[in-house]
Structure 1
Amino acid sequence: MPPARWPEVVPTGVLLAAGRGRRFDPAGVRNKLLQQLPGGDLVVLASARRLLACVPRVVAVVPPHDGGVADALRALGCEVTVCAQADSGMGASLVHAIGQSLRDALPAGGWLVALGDMPFVQDATLAALRDAVAPAAAAGTIAVPVYAGRRGNPVAFGARHLDALLALGGDQGARGLLAAHAVTEVAVDDPGILRDIDTPSDLVL
């Protein structure tokens, strides 16, 4: 459940759900995001629910012909946008989602970028990343979660990184930004930051 009162400044959530998941099903028949987890929820909806409970606005990016991902996310309360260039890589999807988030105004709290195929990230991790970039003084912060000495996802970006985010492209994603800028590491007790759904065996808890 979302908090009764949001912090004064909150990042915009971005859910990247535009990958084709070829490792999960090379034939492209089964969309990994629409597979059921042991509890019965769909992978992408479990990821989206956690993000929606952490921030009041989530922009979800999907590819054309997504097999029903957009409808499911829209029914859950996400703002859904279709990226025609999704197949060119995660960078294109991220740029598209950031651009969509600017329709009304620059999100003063930055962006909390989560992946649709990572449903095991804990609520406390999302909240810690949100709070790391939300204050005005943290507008230039990039925050990443760290578990057992390893960085994972999601990643939060302060608002000052807008131009760098919009300059991304292809399959670069945000790795270049993390290499080029100072990063705040947020220690978490959450192996879910390292777990994505790549193969059918990954669906098992």
Structure 2
Amino acid sequence: MPAILILAAGASARMRGRDKLLEQVAGVPQLGRIARAALETGCRVLVALPPEAGARVAVLAGLAVTLVTVADAATGMAASIRAGVSAAGDAAGLMILPADMPDLDAADLGALLGAFLAAPQLIHRGTSRDIPGHPVIFPRAFFPSLASLTGDSGARAVLATHPDRVQGVPLPGRHAIIDLDTPEDWAAWRAT
């Protein structure tokens, strides 16, 4: 089985003092909601967090997740991915799941997991309306490439290098492409 890495080490810099992962979705902080959805898959769930993440850690209290402190989180998303690969141990793959995607649910994660189990040699990427998005599951064979990433572009370089190994997994609506980074994004999403 793959492990799931929830990317939650970002600074929410564009939220002007608010933490986007603590925004309420259906009465629950977004980080807690996405962690519960990930746990419903039965996979081991890792949560990448910055060193000073007291409020985020509190949201995860009591959940059977593994907290992965990313000491160099400020250097970009690649630091979280590297830490997640290291923490994944002998997992058959790694689902990279951004924490700021409020439309994703357990059924979406299950669809990706099902695709991975049917073809574990491929990279499986959530899509919405044929637009590539998230989450993405990488087979274990790609762990060395993921472990060598730098900067803040995530795993785009790995995906670009292996387009023949990427299979889209259609998700409903805009689930794979909605991420909310600003107060305006959150307000617009809530208005729909």
TM-score by length of 1: 0.84
Q: In the alignment, which residue of structure 2 is the partner of 1:107?
A: 91
1:90-101 to 2 correspondences below 5 Å: 90-101=77-88
Pick one of 127, 145, 170 that aligns with 2:110: 127
Q: Is residue 42 of structure 1 aligned with residue 33 of structure 2?
A: no
Equivalence for 1:53: 40
Q: Deviations over 1:62-101 (max 9, x none)?
A: 0011241123224222110110100100011111111012
User: Contact conserved, 2:5 with 2:97, CA < 8 A, in 1?
Assistant: yes
Q: Of residues 114, 125, 142 in structure 1, which corresponds to 2:123?
A: 142
Residue equivalent to 2:100: 117
In structure 1, how many angstroms separate the alpha carbons of the residues matched to 2:152 and 2:102?
22
Q: Which residue does the alignment assign to 2:161?
A: 180
1:65 aligns with 2:52: yes
Check the 8 A contact 1:139/1:160 in 2, yes or no. no
Which amino acid in structure 1 is aligned with residue 130 of structure 2? G
Where structure 1 has 5 or more consecutive residues not aligned to the other structure, the ranges are 1-9
- SS of the residue aligned with 2:18? coil
C-alpha separation between the residues in 1 aligned to 2:171 and 2:71? 35
Q: Which residue is equivalent to 1:151?
A: 132
What SS does structure 1 have at the residue aligned with 2:97? strand
SS at match of 1:113: strand
Cα RMSD after superposing both structures: 1.6
Q: Verify: 1:86 aligned to 2:73, yes or no.
A: yes
User: Contact 2:34/2:105 (CA < 8 Å) preserved in 1?
Assistant: no
Deviations 1:120-174 (A, max 9, x none): 1133221121122235xx3431111121121111111111111111111221310
What letter is aligned with 1:112?
M
Give the TM-score, by structure 2 length. 0.90
Contact 2:128 2:171 in 1 (8 A): yes
Answer yes or no: is the 8 Å Cα contact 1:144–1:156 preserved in 2. yes
Which piece of structure 1 moves more, 195-204 or 151-160? 195-204
1:31 maps to 19
Gaps of 5+ in 2: none
Q: Equivalent residue for 2:173?
A: 190
Matched, 1:199 2:182: yes
- The residue type paired with residue 169 of structure 2 is V
- In terms of fraction of residues, the more strand-rich structure is 2
Secondary structure at the aligned position of 1:173 is classed as coil
**Partner secondary structure for residue 81 of structure 1:** strand
- Residue 55 of structure 1 deviates from its aligned partner by 3.1
Q: Deviations over 1:101-126 (max 9, x none)?
A: 22xxx112x11111111121133221
| Distance in 1, Cα, partners of 2:50 & 2:101 | 18
Q: What percentage of residue pairs aligned between the two structures are identical?
A: 33
Letter in 2 for 1:89: G
